[in-house]
Amino acid sequence: MTCNEVVPVEFVISFDMRAPAFGAPAQELYDAALDMCAWADRIGFDAVGLGEHHASEDGYLPSPIPMASAIGARTQRITVRPNVIQAPIYDPVKLAEDLSVAQFLCQGRLEVVIGAGYRPYEFQMFGKRREDRKDLYVNAFTFLRQAWSGETFEYEGRSVTITPVPQPAPRLLLGGTHPAVARRAAQIADGYYPPAGENWHIYRQTCLDLGKPDPGNAFKALGPIFTHVSRDPDADWKRIAPHVKHVVESYAEWTVEAYGKAAGPFAGGIDVDNLRAGGAYQVLTPEAAVDMIKGLGRNRTFILTPLLGGLDPDLAWQSLRLFEAEVWPQVCDMRDL
């Protein structure tokens, strides 16, 4: 690949900390995740991604802010990106304080994607109404801006002072896929984070209409959800497949809970062979992984989810070491430096 052929790709390592009963114990997974973040930071990955869900039987990460803080303390340069934080269920005062402290522990590298949430059970668990989620997350943006100004202000009849004041304040992105969310992101957020780049053109045009800087033509849409590098892909897939099936079935159940039916990739039942053939979950030789990453094209995100569904950390480390030795040297110049 010559210099003028280099295309920018964002390299992300992501964790949701699921620990189903058939997988690795939660303590082993948390220990491994911190070590893997340090590994990603050392070799030059761009960002760490963290999910958030509550009341999940497998322990899906419910507290991304403490996790982000721990990652920040173990790393030096990588962006720490909770994606997403379900702002509607948080007390905004405590949210502002916790994100402020996390920003210090991340040495200014915290980037927060605010989401609306969708599972009814999560809203009722925190005494919130799902129907109010838009107003709640819009309020969160307004509140956080005021909170990090360093000034005391009035909020719902109360006097509020947030310390310490983060320097700089964390970037606040709005996550979502609806056209209205894209427009709202241009109005209230520092950026827009649609998983597959949905309605980016609407976000961009709204930014331009508002006189804001041009965010560019395209969002770095995600590549495969999961990539595992292996000398023996078929053998490793047999070990990984139950974890993939667990994750997809869980999301399907939550989709039914929220919307009454499974949609998109969750419709029609879960077949792990079809999932592998579909390309979202890939187990590849080093050579095939290099070809896949180079083929992603301009403005894409390559994501590693090494502990997917409670995957054995030893197996995950085998993949990461092989990635570092035989894949990374061939693709690291594709970063958007």
Residue range 97-119, pLDDT digits in tens: 999 999 999 999 999 999 999 99
pLDDT band at 2; cut points 50, 70, 90: very low
Domain presence at residue 268: yes
Domain presence at residue 316: yes
Domains in the chain, number: 1
Domain presence at residue 12: yes
Q: Do residues 76 and 41 touch, judged by C-beta distance below 8 A?
A: yes
The residue behind tokens 């980016």 is 200
pLDDT at res. 3: 32
Q: Is the pLDDT of residue 50 over 90?
A: yes
Stretch 256-267: mean pLDDT:
76
The neighbour count for residue 188, using CB atoms within 10 Å, is: 16
Domain presence at residue 234: yes
Domain presence at residue 118: no
Q: Do residues 318 and 283 touch, judged by C-beta distance below 8 A?
A: no
Distance of CA 42 to CAs 38, 54, 158, 209, Å?
Answer: 6, 31, 45, 40
**How many angstroms separate the CA atoms of 169 and 213, rounded?**
19
Percent of the chain whose pLDDT exceeds 90: 87
pTM of the model: 0.94
Domain presence at residue 82: no
Tell me the residue length of the chain: 337
Beta bridge partners of 284: 229
**How many angstroms separate the CA atoms of 178 and 118, rounded?**
13
Q: Is the pLDDT of residue 240 over 90?
A: yes
Q: Is the pLDDT of residue 6 over 70?
A: no
Q: Is the pLDDT of residue 268 over 80?
A: no
Joined tokens for residue 62 = 């419910």
Instruction: Label the pairing between strands 9-15 and 47-50.
Output: parallel
Distance of CA 1 to CAs 44, 272, 295, 303, 324, Å?
Answer: 19, 35, 12, 21, 19
The DSSP code sequence of 194-226 is: -TT-TTHHHHHHHHHHTTPPP--S---EE--SE
Q: Which residue segment(s) compose the domain that 260 sits in?
A: 1-45+223-337
Domain presence at residue 312: yes
**How many angstroms separate the CA atoms of 117 and 154, rounded?**
27
Domain presence at residue 333: yes
Q: Is the pLDDT of residue 42 over 70?
A: yes
* Lowest pLDDT segment from 117-126, 174-183, 256-265: 256-265
Beta bridge partners of 15: 50
